Amino acid sequence: MPTKVICIANQKGGVGKTTTAVSLAHGLALRNKQVLLLDMDPQGQSATALGRNPEPGIFYLLTMGLSAQETTFVNSWVRSSGREGLTLFPGDQQTMAAQTVLNAQNKPVSAIRNAISRFFKDGLDYIIFDTAPSVGGIQERAVWASDLIIVPTATEFLSADGVSKVMQMMSVLQEKKSWQGALLGILPTFYDEQTRESKATMESLQEHFGSRVLPPIHRATILRECAASGQTIFETDPDSRSAEEYQTLSKLVMKF
């Protein structure tokens, strides 16, 4: 099976992108898949959530070429996550500087796809991008580099705007930039059926997007505690509802 590239994207912050990226990556690894998680958020939150340190690997990935020497150097930034089957390519605040370089060099929309092509021959099953809410053109290039997009969205009224912007971006990339990828689904997060707002937002998502709405991730304090302790939900409480929900997401991804 060729390496499948999945981007976790939304242009709104605080919707559970990093939690989803980390949980999905580990969930797939637990199903005997080889996964590389790329931390494209300048805050380096994926690394932190895995108990690792943010580092400038993404900056070098996005600004260096594909020569043998450069590839050797870029590959040296791949880090063990401490979990079997899951490796990490860390980012940090220098990721913002990479955006300036990409624009100054007028890099094409295919720049990130070209940059990660060096990994395709390594027997990887999945590459997963954790992206920032908006880092100039990095998110656009990350989406274009991906085969499938998951759009997490908090089940609150103000979240719909972020979903709409990502959907619009995807449409433009397909129509004007020959993007061959597709939406895997919209992932409702922080879902709480006890609140009127959460239920109403869920109903609105289903009305607008139908079968593209994935089973929701319920609001759970333990998910915040996981990130703070540098563990995934499968390590902190593998029998929890949150772990079950992210395993469900992992199973869905493997069907594509």
pLDDT per position as a tens digit, 24-55: 999 999 999 999 999 998 889 999 999 999 99
Starting at the edge strand that comes first in sequence, how are the strands of the sheet with 148-154 ordered? Answer: 79-83, 86-89, 35-40, 126-131, 4-8, 148-154, 182-189
Mean pLDDT of the chain: 93
Q: Residues 64-85: pLDDT tens digits? A: 999 999 999 999 999 999 999 9
Residue 116's DSSP bridge partners are none
Taking the C-alpha atoms of residue 61 and residue 91, their distance in angstroms, rounded to an integer, is 10
Model pTM score: 0.95
pLDDT tens digits for range 153-193: 999 877 777 898 899 999 999 999 999 999 999 999 999 98
Helix (H) or strand (E) holding 200: helix 196-209
What pLDDT is attached to residue 193? 87
User: What's the CA gap between 149 and 182, in Å, rounded?
Assistant: 6
Q: What share of the chain is helix, strand, coil (3-state, %, to 5)?
A: 50, 15, 35
Domains parsed from the chain with CATH numbers:
4-254 (3.40.50.300)
Rounded CA gap, 166 and 180, in Å?
Answer: 16
Q: Which of 121, 27, 140 is nearest to 75 (CA)?
A: 121
208, two tokens: 């607008």
SS3 label, residue 150: strand
Residue 246: the pLDDT is 98
pLDDT of residue 251: 97
Q: 3-class SS at 192? A: coil
Count of residues in the chain: 256
